[in-house]
Amino acid sequence: MNFTETVKKYSEWGLSCLPTDLKGKRPIGANSSDWTNHDFELNDFNDCDSIGIKCGKASGNLECIDIDNHFEDAKEILTKYLEITEVNEIYKKYKLPIETTQRGGYHLLYRCEKIEGNRKLAARWKSEENRPDHFFETRGEGGMFLCCPSPGYKIIRNIFENIATISIIERAILIDNAVAMNEYVEPGKNEYQNGTDRPGDIYNSTSGSISEMKGLLQSAGWKDLGNLKWRRPGKNDGISATLGKVAPNVFYVFTGNGYPFDPMKAYLPFQVLALLKFGGDFSEAAKSIAPERIFTNHAIKMNQTEIEKILEGSKIDTRRQIEKPPTILSIRENIATSLIYKRVFTLGNFSCIIGKAKSRKTFFLSLITASLLNKNQNDKFDSDMPEHKNEILYFDTEQGEYDSYNAIRRIEKMAGTGLRLRGYNLRQFSPMERCQIIEYAFGKYGDKAGYCVIDGIADLANGINDEDEATRVTTFLLMLTKKYNCHISTIIHQNKNDNFATGHLGSAIMKKAEIIISVTKREGSASEINCDMGRGVDFEPFEMTINNEGMPEVGGVIKCKAIPSHYEETVKEESYFDNKTENIPF
């Protein structure tokens, strides 16, 4: 074919061309070692099979992003790439040209003040050939690519006439987002294989380790951008790493400024733990991974014998009588001339207090806690904590030290005692550290603790919309209530636009909670207390007010529900009834 007219046009546009064979592997008319510096004559293009364009300085610092079609999905890859917001903005801003290749791939072209040589950006494993295959690459200084009108090549977006010069930062954004699509890391060079029996191997196999890895990265200044992408500390745009793209538990770093991480290397959770928390001391990191830590408790691989024992021990035997869980807090209500007691909290379960910001949820928990410390504290609640399980643990994860102090002092003043109450402020710690501290406290005091408050359950998670975190935190609560036979009350915020608890975490907790109590701010100093959902639990809405001394007090019933005509026949004067009793129609 004769490409001389095309070459003239491309030359006017600042593009340096070279004649090649059909595959573009061997430039025609020049030795393979000097074609980059060889200036081809027009007559060199008279009878060549295809033409190519030199990248780099020869074409005004031209660089080409090459998307191959080795997996027959280049169109899908390009679509996903251009759907990335910051990539799409650059593409549209400069009207960057795109051409298709003879095998269904694509070229995206731009110029930049600073470019590199040819670079492999993203790969995936090609199982039929038992090797990794790079589907995202660049052609830069010293490189070339075949172009239109070579056979099979066609410009589909914009034109080559004025290929834009983008900024160094914009180029980095294009490159980084391409690298972020990488799905393969070479095992030997990146220590990417999990072992089986070392502390770090066990740690890597747990879902909780991923949550802690996220927390450690965020504490070190890394920013979670969503869609598995992360940005290094000190960087305002672009991406620097992926977490979960190469593999579910792999942090893949491609920035050269992500100390202590090296570029183009994958890190497992244990490596991240050792580098960020222990300064690279893997021995100390291994010592910190005790078997009782919550994130290893639920994921260590068990052998068949252990599973068999657990299965048999968990079997439900209907021939054996199972006692109802002891009720530690009831609510008193008047029905006609009778006084009945409705269960609110039982041992071995947890409850959720929900409400919008500043609805006085903490004041309500203060009222409940004081009632558990002193059953005569008010006429609304009645406590019945077993003598051997009458201590209370109170963890504040939200408030500052002064406000936490006042919250505990308020409870002690209302109850007239603080001897059985242990309060802790955990605001300064990371989510995983808070979980470890709480679990340690239960290990130390749990045998005598029948009730626990965690004011700010969202602060035990690295993200309220992370499904793995929601599962981990909910499992954490279930484990503590089961293992230590206590009741835990948690606080979580409601969404601004509806009455649901926020995020995946809120949804998971609401599904597992024994009772969900909402606190809604009303006019003045009053709040409305409602039983939103309960497992056989219900009570009439009532009012809580804050008196002149800043203490919460129980007000009157706000509204009453209809009483069935036969209800009075089932109620005994001054008797205790569990809401699940069959002859009481709640």
Domain-located, residue 216: yes
pLDDT in tens, the chain (586 residues): 678 999 999 999 999 999 987 766 666 655 445 777 788 888 888 878 899 999 999 999 999 999 999 889 999 999 999 999 899 999 999 999 999 999 999 999 999 999 999 999 999 888 788 888 899 999 999 999 999 999 999 999 999 999 999 999 899 999 999 999 998 887 644 444 444 567 788 788 776 788 888 888 988 889 988 888 999 988 888 889 999 888 888 999 988 888 899 888 899 999 999 999 888 888 888 887 755 444 434 444 556 776 677 677 777 777 777 778 889 999 888 776 778 888 899 999 999 999 888 889 999 999 999 999 998 888 899 999 999 999 999 999 988 889 999 999 999 999 998 889 999 999 888 888 888 889 889 989 999 999 999 998 988 887 788 887 888 899 899 999 999 999 999 988 877 766 666 778 888 888 889 999 999 988 777 899 988 887 767 788 999 999 988 899 988 776 544 443 333 333 333 333 343 333 323 2
Which among 543, 572, 542, 537 is positioned nearest to 339, based on CA atoms? 572
Domain-located, residue 560: no
Residue-number span of the structural domain to which 220 is assigned: 187-307
CATH number of the domain bearing residue 406: 3.40.50.300
Residues 130 and 201 in one domain: no
Residues 407 and 476 in one domain: yes
Determine the Cα–Cα distance for residues 375 and 542; give it in Å rounded to an integer. 19
Residues 191 and 175 in one domain: no
CATH number of the domain bearing residue 16: 3.30.2250
Residues 57 and 141 in one domain: yes
Residues 108 and 209 in one domain: no
Task: Give the pairing type, strands 350-355 and 487-493.
Answer: parallel
Cis peptide, bond prior to residue 149, ω within 30 of zero = yes
Domain-located, residue 45: yes
Give the angle subtended at the CA of 20 by the CAs of 15 and 22, to the nearest 5°: 120
pTM over 0.85: no
Determine the Cα–Cα distance for residues 6 and 12; give it in Å rounded to an integer. 10
Determine the Cα–Cα distance for residues 1 and 20; give it in Å rounded to an integer. 11
Burial of 149 (0-12, 13-18, 19+ CB in 10 A): middle
Domain-located, residue 199: yes
Domain-located, residue 442: yes
Overall domain count for the chain: 3
Domain-located, residue 61: yes
Task: Give the pairing type, strands 165-166 and 106-112.
Answer: parallel
Residues 250 and 389 in one domain: no
Domain-located, residue 366: yes
Domain-located, residue 530: no
Residues 490 and 353 in one domain: yes
